């Protein structure tokens, strides 16, 4: 991975694949390039299906600068060649980050966000801890512990995943304090909560192309399922543009922090770390830190003693130091306060952004209005549906005495639904018991059923088309017959119970839709248990007819399929 492949190697692999000679493929490829060249000249764009397109884009004239002669140049307007990959290639290339999604952030946190940019752009030189930056270093102490904790966790997960690419290494720790925060606070405390949630996704990190190729589908499904989990911060997996080295052990982190500089800084940072300790007592750092602190504390006392003997300039220096320490103590208290505030915010972080206070009152009235409208519509629909079912039940109940004692009967397959009141009085279940009467009389809201014997050449699709005008509703029939197995195989001579729409022709009432959705769930289950990949498409289709699929299903639905059904719209 991440290696330079030579043109010759490419030719070799293509020649092998196409079973032509190397010379031939070489020439062919050259010709191909020529054609692209010609196409760009002629049309300005060349589309290569399954790969991408080459385009010419116009670049305006602009002023440039010749650094050698130090004179201004005008760069004339010209074209540039761009390559835009198509979706497949794009997705393959972005596979390591495929599970990440954009996240909305609250406006108050915007300031913290700037620090992340600063951090991203800052140099990798972590050795240069200036005294000027100490104050800001102190401010960021509260976030440092999260970084360390994050580093901890990521190290654990890292050890589970064999490293195979540079980029993977870079990904782990966005916030290892390799660079000193200059004038910005380091990035967000929100990472803390995300860390805990993100561990699973890190471990699922696709890290080798071979693995991806083998399990492309799995990954896409996995990412689909995880995307709902991953609305939180993804900072874990971010590229760290600076050195990857800063990740090996906590000790290394410590060292970086404490550094090899002057003791003053060492004191400062160890105090920072002490503050860190107070807020995150669970890390292993405490002991080490406290030890160091003890050392430095005692050394400070010695310094103070020496101060009296020292010259005035030294006194001043030390006095400054003491001042600074006092400030840091105050700042630490402040930070702890901020920390707890931010923790409160963090607990809310994963939830979707709430509307601003000014919007709440107006949005509430909108919601109320929408709710009222929906209630009216729902009420109307219910009323309408009960009207129609009332009719059929009246008719059917009158038919009942005459037909309830009938044995299994052949039924005319050509009649329309609403005219089928006579037949609908009979409801033959697939198990060939005659529970029609009971079902019919209780069916105020349940749709009526028509029993049909399958003729040769009929399919569920064709039956649905006959009955409903829409053959795509065939799973409704399937779902209504519990003993049907393979929906693609129905046998002539067997009987089916065909549910009839309870509304007017060519419309589906809500109860009908529920039935259709249940039918799709049934087909999904069968295909799933027979390991057919189209299973999840049926789940997706079920969602068209009813929203809450899990409610309709009596067994838990596979999560990946459910998110596929929810997602791909």
Partner 1 sequence: MNTSDVVAILAENWDMTHAEARDFLDVITQTFTENIASGNSFSIPELGTFGTTTRKKRKSYNPHYEQYMKLPPKRVVDFNPSKGLKEDLKQVDIDDE
Interface of this chain with partner 1, residues 205 to 224, rule: CB under 8 A? 209, 212-213
Applying CB under 8 A, among 118, 120, 336, 494 the residue interacting with partner 1 is 120
Cross-strand partners of 74: 63
Q: Which of residues 221-260 bind partner 1 (CB under 8 A)?
A: 233-235, 237-239, 241
Least CB distance to partner 1 at residue 415 (A)? 51
The CB density around residue 242, as the number of other CB atoms within 10 Å, is 21
- Residue 47 lies near partner 1 (rule: CB under 8 A): yes
In this structure, the chain runs to a length of: 569
CB of 47 to partner 1, least distance (A): 5
Only one of the segments 49-57, 275-283, 423-431, 485-493 lies at the binding site for partner 1 (rule: CB under 8 A); that segment is 49-57
**Shortest Cβ 50–partner 1 spacing (Å):** 5
Contact between 181 and 216 (Cβ < 8 Å): no
Tell which positions 139-168 bind partner 1, by CB under 8 A: 165, 167
**Nearer to partner 1 (CB atom), residue 238 or residue 321:** 238
The reply to whether 556 sits near partner 1 by the rule CB under 8 A is: no
Closest by CA to 303, choosing from 315, 293, 289, 290, is 315
Closer Cβ to partner 1, 72 or 80, answer by number: 80
Query: Does residue 186 bind partner 1 (CB under 8 A)?
Result: no
CA of 482: how far to CAs of 432, 475, 522, 523, in Å? 12, 12, 9, 11
- Site for partner 1 contains 383 (CB under 8 A): no
- Residue (32 or 364) nearer to partner 1, CB: 32
Tokens 């195979």 found at: 164
Residues between 51 and 90 with contacts to partner 1, criterion CB under 8 A: 51-52, 56, 58, 78-83, 85, 88-90
- Which string of x and - marks every residue 267-296 that binds partner 1 (by CB under 8 A)? ------------------------------
Task: Show the tokens assigned to 297.
Answer: 């504390």
- 56 vs 322, which CB is nearer to partner 1? 56
Other beta carbons within 10 angstroms of residue 60's beta carbon come to 8
Instruction: Give the shortest CB-37-to-partner 1 separation in angstroms.
Output: 6
Which residues face 79 on adjacent strands? 58
- 54 in helix, strand or coil? strand
d(CA 489, CA 125): 69
Min dist CB 178 to partner 1, Å, is: 15
Evaluate whether 62 touches 76 at the Cβ level (below 8 Å): no
Spatial CA neighbour of 271 closest among 305, 297, 246, 302: 297
172 binds partner 1 (CB under 8 A): no
Triad 463, 469, 473: Cα angle to 5° = 65
What is the nearest approach in angstroms of partner 1 to the Cβ of residue 193? 15
- Is residue 93 a contact residue for partner 1 (CB under 8 A)? yes
Number of residues near partner 1 (by CB under 8 A): 83
DSSP state of 97: G
Nearer to partner 1, 52 or 519 (CB): 52
515 binds partner 1 (CB under 8 A): no
Q: Which is nearer to partner 1, 102 or 556 (CB)?
A: 102
Spatial distance between the Cα atoms of 275 and 84, rounded to a whole number of angstroms: 50
Least CB distance from residue 174 to partner 1, whole Å? 8
Q: Which is nearer to partner 1, 121 or 534 (CB)?
A: 121
Q: Is the Cβ of residue 92 or residue 310 nearer to partner 1 in the bound state?
A: 92
Dig out the tokens for 472 from the structure. 């795509």
In the complex, what is the shortest distance from the CB of residue 48 to partner 1, in angstroms, rounded to a whole number?
Answer: 6
Whole-angstrom distance, CA of residue 189 vs CA of residue 185? 11
Q: How far is the CB of 34 from partner 1 (least distance, A)?
A: 8
3-state secondary structure of 474: helix
What DSSP letter does each residue of 108-158 carry, written as one string? GGHHHHHHHHHHHHS-S-TT---STTHHHHHHTHHHHHHHHHHHHHHHHHH
Return all residues near 161 (Cβ < 8 A) that are at least 6 apart. Answer: 168, 202, 203, 205, 207
> To the nearest whole angstrom, how small is the minimum distance from the Cβ of residue 27 to partner 1?
8
Task: Answer for the pair 61, 52: CB distance below 8 angstroms, yes or no.
Answer: no
95 binds partner 1 (CB under 8 A): yes
DSSP per-residue codes, 188-229: -THHHHHHHHHHHHHHT----HHHHHHTHHHHHHHHHHHHTG
For position 34 contacting partner 1 by CB under 8 A, the verdict is: yes
Where in 99-118 is the site for partner 1 (CB under 8 A)? 100-107, 110, 113-114, 116-117
388-407: contacts with partner 1 (CB under 8 A): none
Provide the minimum distance between the beta carbon of 135 and partner 1 in the complex, in angstroms, as a whole number.
25
Tell me the H-state helices in 349-418: 357-403
Interatomic CA distance for residues 542 and 531, integer angstroms: 18
């Amino acid at each position: 991975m991440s290696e330079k492949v030579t043109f010759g190697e490419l030719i070799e692999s293509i020649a092998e694949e196409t079973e032509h000679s190397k010379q031939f493929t070489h020439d062919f490829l050259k010709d191909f390039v020529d054609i692209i060249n010609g196409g760009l000249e002629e049309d300005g764009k060349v589309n290569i299906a399954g790969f991408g397109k080459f385009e010419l884009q116009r670049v305006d004239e602009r002023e440039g600068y010749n650094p050698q002669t130090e004179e201004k140049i005008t760069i004339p307007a010209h074209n540039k060649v761009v390559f835009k990959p198509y979706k497949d290639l794009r997705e393959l290339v972005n596979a390591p980050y495929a599970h990440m999604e954009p996240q909305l952030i609250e406006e108050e946190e915007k300031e913290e966000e700037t620090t992340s940019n600063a951090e991203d752009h800052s140099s990798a030189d972590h050795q240069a801890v200036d005294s000027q930056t100490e104050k800001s270093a102190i401010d960021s102490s509260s976030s440092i512990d999260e970084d360390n904790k994050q580093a901890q966790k990521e190290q654990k997960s890292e050890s589970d995943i064999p490293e195979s690419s540079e980029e993977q290494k870079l990904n782990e720790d966005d916030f290892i304090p390799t660079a000193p925060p200059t004038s910005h606070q380091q990035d967000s405390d929100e990472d803390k909560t995300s860390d805990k949630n993100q561990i699973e996704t890190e471990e699922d990190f696709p890290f080798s192309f071979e693995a991806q190729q083998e399990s492309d589908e799995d990954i896409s499904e996995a990412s689909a399922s995880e995307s709902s989990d991953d609305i939180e911060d993804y900072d874990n997996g971010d590229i760290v543009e600076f050195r990857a080295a800063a990740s090996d052990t906590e000790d290394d982190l410590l060292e970086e922090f404490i550094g090899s500089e002057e003791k003053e800084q060492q004191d400062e940072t160890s105090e920072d770390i002490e503050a860190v300790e107070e807020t995150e007592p669970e890390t292993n750092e405490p002991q080490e830190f406290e030890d160091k602190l003890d050392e430095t504390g005692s050394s400070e006392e010695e310094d103070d003693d020496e101060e009296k003997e020292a010259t005035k300039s030294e006194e001043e220096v030390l006095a400054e130091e003491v001042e600074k320490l006092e400030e840091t103590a105050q700042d630490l208290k402040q930070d702890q306060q901020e920390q707890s505030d931010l923790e409160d915010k963090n607990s809310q972080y994963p939830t979707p952004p709430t509307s601003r206070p000014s919007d709440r009152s107006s949005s509430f009235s909108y919601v109320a209005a929408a709710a009222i409208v929906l209630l009216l519509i729902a009420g109307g629909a219910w009323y309408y549906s009960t009207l129609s079912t009332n009719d059929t039940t009246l008719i059917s109940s009158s038919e009942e005495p005459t037909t309830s004692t009938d044995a299994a009967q052949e039924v005319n397959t050509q009649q329309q639904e609403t005219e089928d009141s006579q037949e609908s009085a009979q409801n033959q279940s697939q198990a060939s018991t005659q529970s029609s009467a009971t079902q019919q009389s209780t069916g105020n809201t349940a749709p009526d059923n028509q029993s049909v014997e399958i003729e040769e050449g009929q399919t569920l699709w064709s039956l649905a088309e006959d009955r409903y005008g829409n053959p795509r509703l065939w799973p409704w029939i399937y779902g209504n017959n519990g003993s049907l197995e393979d929906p693609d195989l129905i046998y002539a001579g067997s009987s089916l119970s065909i549910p009839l729409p309870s509304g007017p022709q060519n419309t589906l009432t809500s109860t009908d839709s529920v039935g259709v959705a249940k039918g799709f769930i049934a087909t999904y289950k069968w295909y799933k248990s027979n390991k057919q990949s189209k299973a999840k498409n049926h789940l997706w289709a079920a969602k068209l007819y009813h929203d809450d699929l899990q409610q309709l299903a009596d067994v838990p639905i596979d999560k990946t399929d459910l998110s596929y059904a929810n997602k791909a719209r």
